[in-house]
Structure 1
Amino acid sequence: MQFRFRCFSLALALPLIAVGVGSASAQQQRARPPEFDQAVTSRVFFPDMSTAFQGERPTLSSLQELEAAAAMAKAEAASTEEGDGKTQLWSKLISPLSLENEVKRVKLQFDGGLTTPGAFNSGGYQDARLQLSVLASLFAVLSEYSGDVRWKEDAKTARDLVAKTARNCAAGSTPVFNEAQLRKADLQDLVSGSGISAAKPSDEDNDWSMIVDRSPLMEYLEQLLDQLGDESTDAASTEENVDTIRKNAELIAMVGEILKKDGMDDAEDDDYAILSYAMTTSARSVVTAIERQDFEAVRGVVGEISQSCADCHDQYR
């Protein structure tokens, strides 16, 4: 019995010894942990979560507010696509007079910049690109505008012509200068009342990805906002420049809506939609303050537009 017990004990001990040997062998074969160069990893990873945020850390309530604002912006955009909402939207944002005056103003700028091929090729094409991009956007809005508005019948044709030349003005050359001269003649015919007869009429709906790029619209916004700020330094200057301030505020509201259109860069981004919506809302508040003759309040609302633009530039410029 003693012999059997020893054999049995030995039989139990052998697997345990084998496991111990196997574990020791596995530990010896295990790869060494990798070593990282902190000088390299510090350029990729944050040292801790507290440094990953800029400004104040978002709270649950602030995130809920952003979500609610995004839902509101989407709901408003969806409502404008139903029935006649798409055309009624523009008439809520900008008056026919503001559209007409801005087309004339930008056209005059465009005309004045087309002097010689040399001046055009050495930098004038950049100004032409901006001005034609703005005109293409204005004609696109005119094509969807509700009610009677000047140039509506030729708006789609003018939109396509100037948008095409704006894209070609990405670089300067003599052929592009000659094309810009043709657009100058077309625009003169349109403004003088003759219409655009030299081109094939267009009946296509607005495809914003083919109408304007975000970059010239942002540059245009900066110009509008600079002028808006300069003319509304106090209640007296606001009252003195009330017509120009109203027009520029309406144009800013219009651009804010264009930036959210399908086909525009980042239009599907909820945060971007919120910023565009905030800019449009503040611009409309300028008009509301003017209508109730609260010229003192205009300056503060202009500051809100500036803040919306600054917030957008921080993330999307």
Structure 2
Amino acid sequence: MIAERELRVLSVLDSPKGRQELADELNYREDTVSEALTGLARYDLIHKERVGNRVIAKPSDARCVEVLQSLTKSNPHVDFPDVLTPSMLNILYYLSSGDAWTATELAEQTGHARATIYRGLRTLTNRAMVIKQHSQYRLTEEFNDLHTFAHELQHHIHRVRIKQDIGSGTLVWESHEEFLVRTDTEVEHPDYHRTGLDAFAEYGLQFFTTSEQYYFYSEDRNSLTPGDLFCHLLLIENDSRHRKYALLLAVKADLSPERLKTAADEYGITEIVNPLVEFLKTEGGKVSEATPRWEEFETLADEYGVEL
């Protein structure tokens, strides 16, 4: 995660500057600036080049850099690097002016203790960046770019991680700490878990697949559950074919409606999954545009040796 001193350097790097210039502006030692620049370069947030005996740093064109510098210029009275701690960035990733959250909901979403959430919300409320209505909190319109910065920063970090770990890939879905990536590359990294139709083979479901492969990145998970695979397939492609294959997995892995709904909530696809859950619960009694006819599903299940 980006450290405070790195944020300070980034917030004032609105044009190419040398280490001594940055050290003077921030009242830092030059070696402290050098360490910060190294950290920022590691995340592709700046570019460094040598001009004679000087190292010149230039801001990258990443959207998060632009947003941070805009916030700094528009609110010179706010010490953003002091506010934007790692836990605060996690909170701001979800908290915006458009969506209201309770402290409990934010704790569940971020994984932080409620004491940490309340401390962060108190900081934002005291600075008039957040308003509280009943038990819900939301960012003010004036400071909604805090959410934009947190989101864009993590998106940028995910893209850099993909580049460094596997060379190339396209983000399909992401949260603050995890992401789903499409790639043409075989990935052996322990934090990347194979998903998509290829992973269904573990449950005896073998499908024809293309050269594209899908991996789910997570530092915290040792493996993926059938509920994860069910949701990942719908995130990859929510068409009639993939919905039928997801339904086959749900039956083969004996996924309960509760487990499916919990997984759907986690990935933010509750509206997609609910009709499929009702279809299975009622054995085709409740159909929708998102579901096949039960007879069609019976034929497919028989083809793949799945007992309904």
- TM bin, normalised by shorter chain, reads under 0.3
Q: Does 1 or 2 have the higher relative contact order (CA < 8 Å, sep 6+)? A: 1
For the pair shown, the structure with the greater C-alpha radius of gyration is 1
Q: Which has the higher strand share?
A: 2
- After TM superposition, the score normalised by the length of structure 1 is 0.24
- In proportion to residue count, which structure has more helix? 1
